[in-house]
Chain A
Amino acid sequence: MKSNRELFESLLAGEHRALARVISKIENRSPGYRDLVSELYAHTGEADVIGITGSPGAGKSTLVDKLAETYREPGETVGVIAIDPSSPFTGGAVLGDRIRMASTVGDMDVFVRSMSARGTLGGLSTATADAVKAMDAFGKDKIIIETVGAGQNEIDIVRTADTVAVLVPPGSGDDIQTLKAGILEIADVFVVNKADRDGTDRTVQELRDMILLDSGDGYSSGGGNHHSQEVIDAHDDWEPGDNEDRATGWTTPIVETVATRSEGVEELLAEFESHREYLVDSDERAAQVRQRYAEEIRTLLREDVHAMLEAELEAAGGIDDLAESVRRGETDPYSIAGDLLEPVENCVGELRVDEE
Chain B
Amino acid sequence: MSAGSDQQSVRCMVAKVGLDGHDRGAHVIARAFRDAGFEVIYSGLHKGPDEIVQAAVQEDVDVLGISILSGAHDTLVPKIMDGLEEYGAKEDTLVLVGGVIPEEDRQPLKDEGVSAIFGPGTSIEETIEFVRENTPER
Interfacial residues, chain A to chain B (CB-CB below 8 A): 1, 16-17, 20-21, 23-24, 27-31, 86-87, 90-96, 98-99, 105-106, 108, 111-114, 116, 118-120
Contacts and interface: CB of A to CB of B under 8 A. Distances in A.
Contacts, number: 96
Given A20-B59, A31-B1, A99-B43, A94 B89 contact: no
A20 B37 contact: no
Given A17-B57, A28-B8, 17 more contacts: A1-B92, A17-B87, A17-B89, A20-B58, A24-B138, A90-B36, A91-B9, A92-B33, A92-B36, A94-B40, A98-B43, A105-B47, A106-B54, A112-B59, A113-B59, A114-B39, A116-B39
A34 to B, nearest CB: 13
A92 B34 contact: yes
B51 interface: yes
A94 B30 CA distance: 7
B7 A118 contact: yes
A94 B35 contact: no
Interface string B35-77: 1111111111001101100110111100000000000000000
B28 to A, nearest CB: 12
Contacts of B37: 90-92
Given A20-B57, A21-B60, A28-B8, A98 B38 contact: no
Nearest to B41: A95
Identify the interface centre among B34, B51, B87: most chain A CB within 10 Å of its CB: B34
Chain B interface: which size bin?
Answer: 35 or more
Contacts of A29: 5, 7
Contact of A120 (B7, B48, B54): B7
A48 B50 CA distance: 28
Nearest to A95: B41
Contacts of B42: 94-96, 98-99
A19 to B, nearest CB: 8
Which among A24, A87, A119 has the highest number of chain B CB atoms within 10 Å?
A24
Contacts of A106: 48, 50-51, 54
Contacts of B55: 98, 112
A105 B35 CA distance: 29
B88 interface: yes
19 contacts: A17-B60, A20-B57, A20-B60, A23-B60, A28-B5, A87-B34, A90-B34, A93-B40, A94-B41, A95-B41, A95-B42, A98-B43, A98-B44, A99-B43, A105-B47, A106-B48, A111-B58, A114-B59, A118-B7
Contacts of B132: none
Contacts of B35: 87, 90, 92
Contacts of A105: 47-48, 51, 54
